[in-house]
Amino acid sequence: MPKINGNEIRIGNVLEHNGGLWAAVKVDHVKPGKGGAFAQVEMRNLRNGSKLNERFRSADKVERVRLEQKDQQFLYESDGMLVFMDNDTYEQIELPAEILGDHRPFLQDGMTVVIEYYESEALNATLPQKVTCKVVETEPVVKGQTAANSFKPAILDNGVKVMVPPFVGQDEDIIVNTETMEYSERA
């Protein structure tokens, strides 16, 4: 595994630190008036989700880990476990539903999800960036309401509340960005 300097750490990098695997969530480069510059890195443990704030000087060497990414198809959920199938080998794996966190409601049957592996251990799952959902409840369209940046609340078929533009009506399909959990466009 390659070693990188402390000032080369970027958001999304996976590091081996203190015997664990950590993903860099937030990185601030600080140059104090006195002393050397350093990177203030907020990290999340990929195995248990705990967080850690650590300072790395540019002279510090950190082990950077490359995760193998595989596209896998979501099949079904049973007893809080999500079952995915590898499209090439047809092997099935079970992962806890918590691996998706707040994005869990956007998981749909047959959806292709990117699962990241370290050796043979599945550590992370990422949904597609855009997902199509149906609006099940929203206020009716009001004629003449064309003010810029006006949004109204809407409830989607998966139970998630998002803000949508005034022209979006009930029973319409919209595309939602799964990273920001916001309305993207009409389907």
The pLDDT tens digits for 144-161 are 666 667 788 999 999 999
- CA nearest 159: which of 97, 82, 102? 102
β-pairing verdict for 51-57 and 61-65? unpaired
Whether the pTM exceeds 0.75: the reply is no
The pLDDT tens digits for 58-114 are 888 999 988 899 999 999 998 889 999 998 888 999 998 888 878 889 999 999 999
CA–CA distance from 12 to each of 43, 83, 89 (Å)?
9, 25, 28
